[in-house]
Structure 1
Amino acid sequence: MTSADPASSRRDQALDWLLRVQQAPDDIQLRAELAQWCASDVANAEAYGKAERVWRMTAQLTPTSAAQWPLPVTSNAVSLPPAARPTRRRQRWLGAAVAACLLVALAPSLSLRMQADYRTGQGETRDITLADGSVVQMDSDSAIAVQYAGTQRDVRLLAGQAFFKVTPDATRPFHVRADAVQVTVTGTAFNVELRPQQVDVEVEHGSVRVADASQARVLSSALTAGERLRYIDGLVQVRTFQPSQAAAWRKGQLIADDVSIAELIGELERYLPGKVLLRDQSLGSKRVTGVYDLRKPQAALNAVLRPHGGKAENFGPWLLVVSRP
């Protein structure tokens, strides 16, 4: 396992380059650096090319808001054909439009919709009662697929996180699969979270067995109440916590215990509309501890950033850029 999703990281970088070029279209040095980045990997060039194509598409859109977007857009920012060059009147909303279109064009495929039996949108939570009486509480922006057959009770966590209250049945083990990680129980309550190339399992009560099914490797034969397992980069980390804090998101809370700002942004992004782009990696590496209100995700993000001199700026309704002055 790796600590970052290369495709997602490349999409973020392409979007970041596009924003920088729009803000400084006459910066020759910036253009040279962009050319070098594109030349370093054909995938980089393809990602930026897709970003530019979507930018051109925005010239054909009609405005949906008269808000004053903070992104300064200029018609010579990219090489647009004359018919597609934006007029001054459109410059106020075009930044928002490109952000929204980029979000759609650079998003993962629609295969998740086809695989999932149950999904939640951003800011939405949902409780599902399965055929055996087990309950799945789904967090925002999450998806699961369910397969009950014979003696098997199988659930796949496709995105996000979910809390499971499993009806005991020693003859029918309950399995939760998240990426390569498989959690096996007969009756207990636990949370599973799936992030890019990372899986977290925490137990409220009872115990679970955690394994890497792809390597037939047992990660924990008995993860018990008050224990949290994180599997990342092929390493297993087990920490203790208060069982009452398991899946704190169910209470509208995000509890951070010495975690990076980048990690917290990933958590909060589930509750914010659109895309959050972190432009300052040194800011993202800062560690924070605190309890934040998921019912007010924008305020929570500001509370995370403020002590470290960071800020979050809205570039239209679908893009939030995090940086330091």
Structure 2
Amino acid sequence: MVMSDPGAKSDDAVRREASDWVALIHDADAAVDRAAFERWRASDPRHAAAYARAERAWDSAALLGQTSFGRARSLPERRRFFDRPQVRYAFAVAAVLVVAILGLSVSGVGLFRPHPSSQATELASRVGQIRQVALADGSTVTLDTDSVLRIAFTGTERRLYLSRGRARFVVAHDAARPFVVIAGNGSVTARGTIFDVAVADNRVKVVLLRGIVEVRDGRPSAVTAQPAIARLSPGQQISFGTAEPLVAPQPAATIDAQWTAGMLSFDSTRLADAITQANRYSRAKISLADPALGDLRITGAFHSGDAVGLAESIAESLGLRAAKTPQGDVVISAPPSVPAT
């Protein structure tokens, strides 16, 4: 890779070089001269900033390739795309363009490193925090924003109670001790698998990423007088409420699996629903000046902890306006109409 004099380069040239480095570093078949990369990054303050932006764009573009929006526009999913060596180096530039077109707001994830919690009986996460914890049995749990989980392990069962929020469980195999998550009026049982459980608005949602789990809604069936049971396969989800029977599993959206990376991913999602999700991650709240705007659809990946940046990106992509209030919140509104002349 040929580099010109740093002081003579345009910003466009810096962005192109950053994109080239991102593609090269992510290419498993390429021989990367790390010393040359570090010299390039340190030679101009713009280099490090441009590289960080290109790296974030790379990851966000891979997420979008999995959405219906991305598939309709032939945006590549990263794994399949890398199997074509002739286009590996062009992908970073495409990733930056995708982010620019969709108005994405991406930044650092802010995850916590796992730490032992064998003595803990209750885990909690703050608003905007994504917290990963190692459990005493070798399993791990990742808590989404504003979540509460109680642990009650015994010699015969690993039982956990999710009372609020969402959690991802990566379960260590132990045939002698089932892993049971209690949520709402139901439960999820697994012995070695990866799955999400969310509790919101008196409803429970279970998404299975790997393995097999059994979901029980806790109420006796009208036919058998026993709790209804559903078995999920990877890529399926199921939800139930206090006044609804357990329904058949449904396909889970691929983008639902990305929340642990600190990203909110929307695939033709109602703006009102997207804002509801975003407001869970920040004390600064986003609102709509006109409720009718809530029916607009939004597609993209956004950093979950930046309410202002997210609102500005959404507004830009939909041709709306975002204004910050004196209290630090953000209001999205339609642009003023131009009076007829």
Residue equivalent to 2:34: none
Structure 2 gaps, min length 5: 1-120, 336-341
- Relative distance call for 1:228 and 1:249 in structure 2 (3 A) is same
Question: What is the deviation of 1:221?
Answer: 2.1
| Residues 163 and 247 in structure 1, CA contact (< 8 A), matched pair in contact too | no
- Relative distance call for 1:147 and 1:320 in structure 2 (3 A) is farther
Q: Could you tell me which of 188, 192, 203 is aligned with 1:187?
A: 192
- Relative distance call for 1:321 and 1:223 in structure 2 (3 A) is same
Residue equivalent to 1:239: 250
- Relative distance call for 1:203 and 1:272 in structure 2 (3 A) is same
> Partner letter of residue 139 of structure 1?
D
Across the two proteins, how many residue pairs are aligned to each other? 209
CA distance in 2, matches of 1:214, 1:200: 16
> Partner letter of residue 186 of structure 2?
V
| Residues 119 and 142 in structure 1, CA contact (< 8 A), matched pair in contact too | yes
State the identity %.
30
| Residues 284 and 307 in structure 2, CA contact (< 8 A), matched pair in contact too | no
Q: Could you tell me which of 195, 198, 201 is aligned with 2:203?
A: 198
- Relative distance call for 1:318 and 1:295 in structure 2 (3 A) is closer
> Partner letter of residue 226 of structure 1?
G
CA distance in 2, matches of 1:180, 1:281: 33
> Partner letter of residue 175 of structure 2?
A
TM-score by length of 2: 0.53
| Residues 136 and 162 in structure 1, CA contact (< 8 A), matched pair in contact too | yes
Output one character per residue of 1:126-164: Cα deviation in whole Å (capped at 9) or x when no partner: 111222111101122222111112322111122221110
| Residues 237 and 249 in structure 2, CA contact (< 8 A), matched pair in contact too | yes
CA distance in 2, matches of 1:258, 1:238: 22
Structure 1 gaps, min length 5: 1-115
Q: Could you tell me which of 155, 177, 183 is aligned with 1:178?
A: 183
Give the alignment of 1:239-278 within 5 angstroms: 239-241=250-252, 245=255, 247-278=257-288
CA distance in 1, matches of 2:229, 2:288: 34
Q: Could you tell me which of 147, 167, 171 is aligned with 2:172?
A: 167
Residue equivalent to 1:289: 299
Classify the secondary structure of the residue corresponding to 2:293.
Answer: helix
Question: What is the deviation of 1:125?
Answer: 1.6
Residue equivalent to 1:227: 236
CA distance in 2, matches of 1:209, 1:316: 49
CA distance in 2, matches of 1:146, 1:241: 27
TM-score by length of 1: 0.55
Classify the secondary structure of the residue corresponding to 2:326.
Answer: coil
> Partner letter of residue 294 of structure 1?
S
Higher relative contact order (CA 8 A, sep 6+): 1
